[in-house]
Amino acid sequence: MTGKVGKRNALFNLRAVVVVHDLVMVGAAWTLARLATAWLIGEGGVDWKQLGLELNLILLLQGFLQWRSGLYRGVWRFASLPDLGSLLRAAILGAASGAAVLLILAAPLELTVLMVWVFPLLLLVALGMPRLVYRIFKDMRSEVRERRVTRRTIILGAGRSGRLLLPELKRRGGYDVVGFLDDSRRLRNTEIDGVPVLGSISRLPRTVREAVIDLVVIAIPSATNQQMQRVVQICEHADVDFKTLPTLKELGSTITRFDDLKPVVIDDLLGRDPVSLDWAAIRSGLTGKRVLVTGGGGSIGAELCRQIARLDPAGLVVLDNSEYNLYRIDYSLRKEFRDLVIETVLGDICDSATIDKVMQRARPEVVFHAAAYKHLPMLQNQVREAFRNNVIGTRRVADASARYGVEIFVLISTDKAVNPSNVMGATKRVAELYCQQINRQFSTRFITVRFGNVLNSTGSVVPLFNEQIRAGGPVTVTHPEITRYFMTIAEAGQLILQAGVLGQGGEVFVLDMGEPVRISYLAEQLIRLAGKEPGRDIEIVYTGLRPGEKLFEELFHAHEAYAKTGHEKIFLTRSAEQDFRWLVERVNRAEKAVQQYDTEQLRALLVELVPDIGRVPARHPKVVAISG
């Protein structure tokens, strides 16, 4: 308490010194102006008694006006060029106050007119020159601040996390916490452990200049993505290094530590607000169960494996056709979960022998089918491989799951399967249809999970943009108005797990993904997070829509009726019942076309299976193409 009182007294004393300094400058400016005007109008001498009376009145009046004009709202060590406006107001008020004093004392009109011009000019110089000198001194300090051991720091957010972070920064050393900024009016003009709350977050650019700030720490883990976008925009405008704490979900119940600080990433800005999931139900559905994940080495599959491993399954089998991806997830899981019973299988989901052997040996009770080809432009001209992997591979795993009595089969699908305009989306739509129709034939519960783009997944636009930015640009965007839905890899994994325990069979679960994001906005934010300015440091070039690419994606078909589930952000839908024998017959014909490498027949069958896809130009005029 004594320390707080001492700081308040020091601040008061410092402001008093500034006020006295300015009053001395006012007196000096008035005296000099009075002598100059007397000489200009040819007065023989100065009436010093009269001048003393004028000085008393001008000091009283000008001192009050300068205080009211906001000249002393900050202490002098925060003086900066933006204070020029306050100085100009003080000079203008000086002209008015000088005229008032001279009129009250019935001074000659000629003298009054000259003083109205000379006094404000001298006053502006007298008040501004010391501040300008100090500003130059601060700029010299800022040039060498990178060499300082101690980094001057501002904490954004004076809530619980900010309060916990403060002693941690002090304990660690090397960080001089100048103050907090917080939008709560209740915290204005208060102190936290002797560190003042200097104002609202919008004041950051001025505070950075005034206090020569090196680092800003965003300590608002409860902030929504929209709030984080605003805060990051303010930090970028302030042109200062900034870091953030993890979100509340990432922090859990741990105490805030300095090591928790991380750079702001695109997930913080474009990921949606977290969906509240029923972890108790998820645990009861997976704990103690034998689980198979196909495509377990990919971005979604690997995250799914990590989340399943935390739920203590009886065993986890990971199947992938990429040797390197399988090695990485195997190493990661064995390092983090030493007691986990894990088997990794290098194999192809289209190989019946591989699938049968895995099912016989592992006898999984839950299957998550994440294996798929998903690169849209590449698959547009690779219809055979797209159909083989995404449809026939899904059929192999689904049929084996039904034969071996798997309880739950979860298909990982995409929003590109809705009204598809490309080969990839059409093949995923056929996979959806097959799983929904086979659900009516067997006791296995076949469930589909459909969502949009996943930030930072393999092959997604974010790694591509980051690579282009590192190379100095340009960043290529297909169309200025193109939009996509986004979610984080962690949220995708959680949704899939939730669907596994929610579904009764035959449903398609869809996440309410909020508002779609313009890809051009995503590119701009990634450029700014790299410390560069779009259009100046890194150009954004629009290349035109690629074959089969849509301006926007949809989450439901027009004929799909959807309803809410027990979770407000998760919807479910069911497709109309189809003739299963008709579907199987077309898929059989397509599989024969795959074996014969008959791409024309494959495209024709794909249009027949998914009639709402329209047409896309083929590479050869004779080829029936999938459209858009």
pLDDT band with cut points at 50, 70 and 90 for residue 416: confident
Q: Please state the rounded mean pLDDT for residues 242-265.
A: 57
Instruction: Please tell me the predicted confidence (pLDDT) of residue 605.
Output: 92
Per-residue confidence (pLDDT) for residue 144, from 0 to 100? 52
At 130-150, the pLDDT tens digits run: 777 766 776 666 555 545 567
Give me the pLDDT at residue 313, please. 93
pLDDT of residue 48 exceeding 50: yes
pLDDT of residue 260: 58
Mean pLDDT within 97-108: 69
Predicted local confidence at residue 289, as pLDDT: 92
User: What ranges do the domains of the chain cover?
Assistant: 2-143, 147-264, 279-613
CA distance 105 to 340: 94
pLDDT at residue 382, rounded to an integer: 92
Write down the residue that tokens 């494996």 correspond to.
305
pLDDT category, 575, cuts 50, 70, 90?
Answer: low
pLDDT tens track for 113-125: 777 777 777 777 7
Maximum separation of any 2 CA atoms in the chain, in Å: 118
Side-chain-side CA neighbours of 508 within 13 Å: the count stands at: 28
Q: Comparing 271-285, 408-422, 497-511, 593-607, which segment has the lowest mean pLDDT?
A: 271-285
575 vs 339 pLDDT, higher one? 339
Percent of the chain with pLDDT over 90: 23
The yes-or-no verdict on residue 240 having pLDDT over 80 is: yes
| pLDDT of 164 strictly over 50 | yes
Which parts of 479-543 are beta strand (E)? 483-484, 486-487, 508-511, 517-518, 540-542
306: pLDDT strictly greater than 70: yes
Residue 245: pLDDT band (50, 70, 90) is: confident
Give the tens place of pLDDT for each residue, 307-365: 999 989 999 999 999 999 999 999 999 999 988 999 999 999 999 999 999 999 999 99
* Confidence (pLDDT) at 623: 28
Q: Are 231 and 223 in contact (CB under 8 A)?
A: yes
Winning range, highest mean pLDDT, from 262-271, 438-447, 491-500, 505-514: 438-447
| pLDDT of amino acid 601 | 92
**Residue 271 clears pLDDT 60, i.e. is over it:** no
Pick 10 or 60 by higher pLDDT: 60
Q: What are phi and psi of 302, to 5 degrees?
A: -65, -40
**Range of weakest confidence among 83-92, 234-243, 392-401:** 83-92
Assign 269 a pLDDT band (cuts: 50, 70, 90).
Answer: low
pLDDT exceeds cutoff 70 at 206: yes
Highest mean pLDDT among 47-56, 68-77, 278-287 belongs to 278-287
pTM of the model as a whole:
0.63
Proportion of the chain above pLDDT 70, given as a percent = 73
Report the mean per-residue pLDDT for the chain.
78
List, for residues 463-481, the tens digit of each pLDDT value: 788 888 888 888 888 888 8
pLDDT at residue 140, as a whole number: 66
Q: Give the pLDDT band (50/70/90) at residue 38.
A: confident
Helix (H) or strand (E) segment spanning residue 195: strand 195-196
The confidence score (pLDDT) of residue 66 equals 66
Residue 321 near residue 344, CB atoms below 8 Å: no
CB atoms within 10 A of CB 109: 9
Reply yes or no on whether the pLDDT at 548 is more than 70.
no
Structure confidence at residue 453 (pLDDT): 73
Residue range 147-264 forms a domain whose CATH class is alpha beta
pLDDT exceeds 50 at position 90: yes
User: CA–CA separation, 68 vs 19, rounded Å?
Assistant: 12
CA 430 – CA 419 distance, rounded (Å): 12
Top-level class of domain 279-613:
alpha beta
Tell me: pLDDT of 603 over 60: yes
User: Which segment of 262-266, 508-512, 556-560 scores lowest on mean pLDDT?
Assistant: 556-560
Q: Do domains 147-264 and 279-613 have the same CATH topology?
A: yes
- pLDDT at position 497, please? 86
Q: Name the token pair of 299.
A: 């971005």
Mean pLDDT of 555-565: 57
Q: CA 571, 433, 582, 611 torsion: positive or negative?
A: positive
Q: Please report the pLDDT score of residue 616 as a whole number.
A: 38
pLDDT of residue 371: 93
Backbone angles phi, psi at 79, to 5 degrees: -60, 140
As to burial, measured by CB atoms within 10 angstroms (0-12 exposed, 13-18 middle, 19+ buried), residue 307 is middle
Mean pLDDT, rounded, for 494-506: 81
The answer, yes or no, to whether residue 223 has pLDDT greater than 80, is no
Long-range contacts of 7-16 (CB under 8 A, 24+ apart): 7/191, 7/194, 11/75, 14/75, 14/76, 14/77, 15/72, 15/75, 15/76
- The string of DSSP codes covering 227-244 is HHHHHHHHHHHHT-EEEE
Could you give the CA distance from residue 154 to residue 220 in angstroms, rounded to a whole number? 13
